[in-house]
Amino acid sequence: MLSGKKQKLIRTSAYRYEDELQCENKFARRELRWTRIGLLLCAALLVVLVIIVVGWQSMMISEARMQQHLAQEVLRFHVLANSDSEEDQALKMQVKEKVIELLEEEIPEGMNVTETADWMRRNTDKLRDCAQQVVLKNGYDYPISAAVTTCYFPEKTYGDVRFPAGNYEALRIEIGEAKGHNWWCVLYPGLCFLNTTNAVVPEEGKQKLKSVLTEEEYEQITSTTEFHIRWKLLPDLNK
Q: What is the DSSP letter of 186?
A: E
What is the per-residue pLDDT across 28-72, written as a single tens digit (0 to 9) for each? 677 777 877 888 888 888 888 878 777 666 666 777 788 888 888
- For the residues 142-165, what does the mean pLDDT come to? 89
Confidence of residue 22 (pLDDT cuts 50, 70, 90): low
What percent of the chain shows pLDDT beyond 70? 74
User: What is the residue-averaged pLDDT of the chain?
Assistant: 79
Cα(159)–Cα(198) distance, integer angstroms: 8
- For the residues 3-20, what does the mean pLDDT come to? 56
Q: CA angle 126-141-170, nearest 5°?
A: 40
Q: Is-contact 175 146, C-beta < 8 A?
A: no
Specify the higher pLDDT residue, 233 or 42.
42
> Which one, of 82, 91, 117, 83, lies nearest residue 103 by Cα?
117
Instruction: Please give the radius of gyration of the chain, using alpha carbons only, rounded to the nearest integer.
Output: 34
pTM as predicted? 0.65
Q: Beta-strand (E) ranges in the chain?
A: 75-80, 144-153, 156-158, 161-163, 166-175, 182-188
